[in-house]
Each structure stands twice: as structure tokens, then as C-alpha cells.
Amino acid sequence: MQDKLIIAGKTIENRLFVGTGKFSNKAVVKDVLEAIKASVVTVALRRVDLDSKDENILDFIPKECLIMANTSGARNAEEAVRIARLAKACGCGNWIKIEVIPDSKYLLPDNLETLKATEILVKEGFVVLPYMMPDLVMARKLVLAGAAAVMPLGSPIGSNRGLRTEEIVRIMIKEIKVPVIVDAGLGFPSDAARCMEMGCSAVLVNTAIASAIDPVIIARAFNDAVIAGRSAFLYAEKRSFSVSSDGARASSPLTGFLDN
């Protein structure tokens, strides 16, 4: 059975997207990406310095990975657009994850400014994946603006609190015709599996992997969880058992007891 994730005409082999922030060193980033054969990796522009004599993060990203720059640090649409243009000029390509976050305490995205940035960048030929507060109405507007996917948060960035926005994300998966990719807050592989079981097209994980004692082991665990969750989603309708029941069903026949 073929099951492909295609975004902007590109086939994505691995549905676990990985962020590059918070790692103890750049070499670990490379180890993680190679261990799971990552397809998409996000990079903040401030971590890219082609003129620096020090090691550049781009040097540690396998060539087969698609780089998706993010506009981390942008507080409004104007700043997000400027960062996206700079990222493209630095060689990061035209895939961009829009992050517009004016709130420094909870780091929650501004959906309206995100929409404005999306409208501008899509017209300039960018493949735009906006990070957003889960909201069906806004998701529809982002799709109409040309977003290639939408990326609702699971819980606040770096919180590791898991999928706290499940009901709204479920609605978005059902109603939105582009990939829904949960981004932010997933703390455990089980969180990623849950997202995929619901029908998410992919998940993006950074903090939970980067801050782990052994990032490679945890990255593999997340990768396995994504695969398992996706398989469960694909075959959910084919299962022969009922999800809920008033009673119990024995897995072995209740016959043949010694006194019968």
C-alpha cells in the first residue's frame, strides 16, 4: 500500500520533521538526522552565518535533507517576510516555516500577522508552512492564501506538555485539505504517535530530542512512534473489532473447563 506525503510537489519520505535548536553541539544534530534518515529539518536564520569562521549549522545537515528555514524571532509579518528573504539569500531555499511570535512569556503565535506574511511570501514563490494557534477559520484562510500545509501547536513551545489542543486539531485534520503538521510541545514519542493516529500528516519535534540525555536514542523512539501511529491510522477502518463495548470479550473461548 502506497502512502506518500507530498508537499508542494515534493515527496517527503520521513514524517518526523526535526528542529535544530537547543542541541548541545552541531555534531549531535548530524547524528540525529542521519540516525532517522530525516527528510525535513528546520533551521533558524540566526544560526546560519556563511561568513563565520566557526562551524556553520548548514555544514551538519545531510544533503538529502530538505532545509526549511523558520522566521524565529519575528514579531510581526514585516519581520517574518524580511527573515524569509534573507534565509533564501543565504542558500536555505524557498521552503519557509512562518513563526510570528510577539508574546515573550508564552511564545504563542499571532495568527493574523502569520496570515499577512503568508500572503506576501506565497506571491514571491515561497513554499510556506505557517506555525499557528489551532483555529479552523484561520487555517482555511491560510490555505486560501496558498499555504502548503498548516502547523498548529500541540502545546506551548518547549513545554513538553504534549497534545493539549487535540479536539481542534482533529477538526482541522477533517476539514483542511492540505497537510496538518503538529508542531511544538510534543514531549514523548507517545505524543507523536497520538498525533499520527488522529491523521496528522507529520509532526515536528525539537526540544524533546535536543534536550534528551541521548538525543539519538530519543529521535529513533520518536521516529518509530511516528511510523506506528501512521500505520494505526491507515488501518483503523479495517479493524474487525469494536472500539468500545459495554462488556468484555474473551480472547480465548470460555469453554473446555475441567469440570465440563
Q: Is residue 199 part of a domain?
A: yes
| Cα–Cα distance measured from residue 39 to residue 125, given in angstroms and rounded to the nearest whole number | 21
* pLDDT exceeds cutoff 70 at 254: no
**Residues 94-152 pLDDT 10s:** 999 999 999 889 999 999 999 999 999 999 999 999 999 999 999 999 999 999 999 99
> Cell 492540505, residue?
178
- Give me the number of domains the chain comprises: 1
What residue ranges in 77-231 does DSSP mark as E strands?
Answer: 95-98, 127-132, 151-152, 181-183, 202-205
97 belongs to the catalytic site: yes
Helix (H, G, I), strand (E, B) or coil at 142: helix
Q: Is residue 259 part of a domain?
A: no
Q: Is residue 255 part of a domain?
A: no
**Residues 15-49 pLDDT 10s:** 999 998 888 888 899 999 999 999 999 998 765 55
Q: How far apart are the first and last CA of the chain?
A: 47
| Cα–Cα distance measured from residue 48 to residue 52, given in angstroms and rounded to the nearest whole number | 9
Q: What is the pTM of this model?
A: 0.87
Q: Is residue 240 part of a domain?
A: no
C-alpha cell at 96: 519557509
Q: Is residue 158 part of a domain?
A: yes
Per-residue exposure over 99-112, b if at least 16 CB sit within 10 Å of its own CB, e if not: bbbeeeeebebbbe
Q: In which domain, by residue range, is 208 found?
A: 11-234
* pLDDT exceeds cutoff 90 at 239: no
Q: Is residue 243 part of a domain?
A: no
Which of 10, 97, 105, 141 is catalytic? The answer is 97
Q: Is residue 197 part of a domain?
A: yes
Q: Is residue 204 part of a domain?
A: yes
Task: Specify the CATH number for the domain of residue 168.
Answer: 3.20.20.70
